[in-house]
Amino acid sequence: MYAPQGVKTSKDFPVPDMQKAWVLGEPGQLIFKEKPVPVPGKAEVLVRIDAVAICATDLEVIYHGPPALIEGGLPFNKNWTPGHEYMGTVAALGPGVDEYKIGDRITVEIHAGCGQCKRCREGMYTSCHNYGMNYGDMNKGHRANGFTTDGGFCEYAVNNINTMVHVSDEMSDEEATLVVTAGTAMYGLTELGGLIAGESVVVTGPGPIGLLGVGVAKAMGASPVILTGTRDNRLEIGRKLGADHVINIRKEDPVDAVRKILGGKGADYVLECSAAPNGLNEAARMVNRGGKVCLAAFPHGEVPVDVAHLVRNNIYLFGIRGEGKSATHRAQAFMEQKRFDARLIHTHTFELKDLPEAIRYAKERVDDAIKVVVRMPSAVAQKKMAAE
């Protein structure tokens, strides 16, 4: 039975020595196997994963590699487990950890910076200079689960205490996996200014981040909040999350429509979540002079940018990586307070053994899948016992 030296365990939460895990082989190839349960070090805990959501970036990693960086290179055939949007239960404590206790229910964010480089000292741990340089050697302290270290498509993972957020028992496992998505939207709005009450916000692209971006913006007091996209059913979800106006860009020009709604002026802020090749240029034309644009998604390749328009109109441009500056804590607080209903974007649930099918649903948008969640065997068993 699992009992590493210096690690605190509990007989009430027995941990096995081996776990079931999916590892990435060739591009697009996931292999179900057994791996050793990892051991938490200083300032770390072992998390029993109860549920994990599938992110579009997981698909990028599984099929193409970047932005995962394992042992300084592509993540293929390195016995590495992807997945990063997970929640679970604290199962064991590393040396010196007293911030959490075994049995605590938590959700996670991705990045724990090294704490030593220039960016980490500035609080920008998602831009840690040691990103991806220390796989297998955690002495630097950097960890990005599901990108540079093993992720959550398995039963157990190690997390730094700085990457965890308590969740209440009233929040379902599925909803708790969405905190990191809401945290990414929160980070974008934080970088745009944070105090956005009474300011106009346009969110482009009704994917998971865009939809929760609407919810977060509305919770922060933005008015009006405008959502653009191509699918009426997703735009309708955006309305339920708080959008004051929705624009189907297949039916009307989004720039003209935004300016009409705002009395001929542009918006104060645009949160660009579409990753469309023309997304940045359209966003730049949606904001007023001196407005701000945050890029929360990345296109597959290089795209042309009208830099002259940005300069002439004094437009501020921000790019974000993940859910930095403790944004998950703030997003979780909004979700716990029921300021918006993140559950609206959860569409499908699978078990761990069926991960390839869950990936297919997410990749091909089967049944208009938005957020697909994978449940662990332990969590499924607990749910059945509770129902009985």
- pLDDT (tens digit, 9 = 90+) per residue, 87-132? 999 999 999 999 999 999 999 999 998 888 999 999 888 888 887 6
Instruction: For residue 67, give Cα distances in angstroms to 75, 131, 233, 236.
Output: 9, 11, 30, 32
Whether residues 95 and 234 fall in one domain: no
Mean pLDDT of 152-177: 96
Both structure tokens of 97:
């950890």
- 45-56 pLDDT, tens per residue? 999 999 999 999
H or E, element range at 165: strand 164-166
Rounded Cα gap, residues 156 and 88, in angstroms = 9
Q: What does the pLDDT read at residue 379?
A: 64
Q: Is the pLDDT of residue 312 over 60?
A: yes
Rounded Cα gap, residues 327 and 329, in angstroms = 5
- Could you tell me if residue 131 is inside a domain? no
- Give me the CATH number covering residue 187: 3.40.50.720
Q: Is the pLDDT of residue 384 over 80?
A: no
Rounded Cα gap, residues 364 and 100, in angstroms = 39
Whether residues 283 and 243 fall in one domain: yes
- Could you tell me if residue 336 is inside a domain? no
Q: Using a cut of 0.95, tell me whether the model's pTM lies above it.
A: no
SS3 192: helix
Whether residues 261 and 186 fall in one domain: yes
Rounded Cα gap, residues 95 and 98, in angstroms = 9
- Could you tell me if residue 205 is inside a domain? yes
- Could you tell me if residue 5 is inside a domain? no
- Could you tell me if residue 127 is inside a domain? no
- Could you tell me if residue 26 is inside a domain? yes
CB 84 within 8 A of CB 51: no
- 19-41 pLDDT, tens per residue? 999 999 999 999 999 999 999 99
Both structure tokens of 181:
């998505």
- Give me the CATH number covering residue 74: 3.90.180.10
347: domain range? 18-110+145-166+341-387
Q: Which residues contact 195 (CB under 8 A, 6 or more apart)?
A: none
Whether residues 23 and 162 fall in one domain: yes
| CB atoms inside a 10 Å sphere around CB 110 | 29
Q: Is the pLDDT of residue 227 over 80?
A: yes
Whether residues 162 and 195 fall in one domain: no
CB 295 within 8 A of CB 317: yes
Both structure tokens of 383:
């749910």
Highest mean pLDDT among 65-69, 136-140, 234-238, 273-277: 234-238
Q: Assign 386 a pLDDT band (cuts: 50, 70, 90).
A: very low
> Across 244-315, where does the E strand assignment appear?
245-248, 267-272, 287-295
Q: Is the pLDDT of residue 72 over 90?
A: no
SS3 117: coil
In the chain, the number of structural domains is 2
- 245-284 pLDDT, tens per residue? 999 999 999 999 999 999 999 999 999 999 999 999 999 9
H or E, element range at 237: helix 232-240
Whether residues 150 and 203 fall in one domain: no
SS3 366: helix
Q: Is the pLDDT of residue 137 over 80?
A: no
H or E, element range at 347: strand 346-351
Whether residues 307 and 218 fall in one domain: yes
Mean pLDDT of 313-339: 93
- Could you tell me if residue 130 is inside a domain? no
Both structure tokens of 148:
């540079």
Q: Assign 385 a pLDDT band (cuts: 50, 70, 90).
A: very low
Torsion angles phi and psi, residue 284, rounded to 5: -65, -30
Torsion of CA 317, 322, 324, 327, to 10 degrees: 100
Rounded Cα gap, residues 356 and 130, in angstroms = 31
Q: Which residues contact 334 (CB under 8 A, 6 or more apart)?
A: 182, 186, 215, 216, 219, 340
Whether residues 157 and 230 fall in one domain: no
Whether residues 242 and 189 fall in one domain: yes
Phi-psi region of 49 (alpha: psi -120 to 50; beta: other; left: phi over 0): beta
- Could you tell me if residue 315 is inside a domain? yes
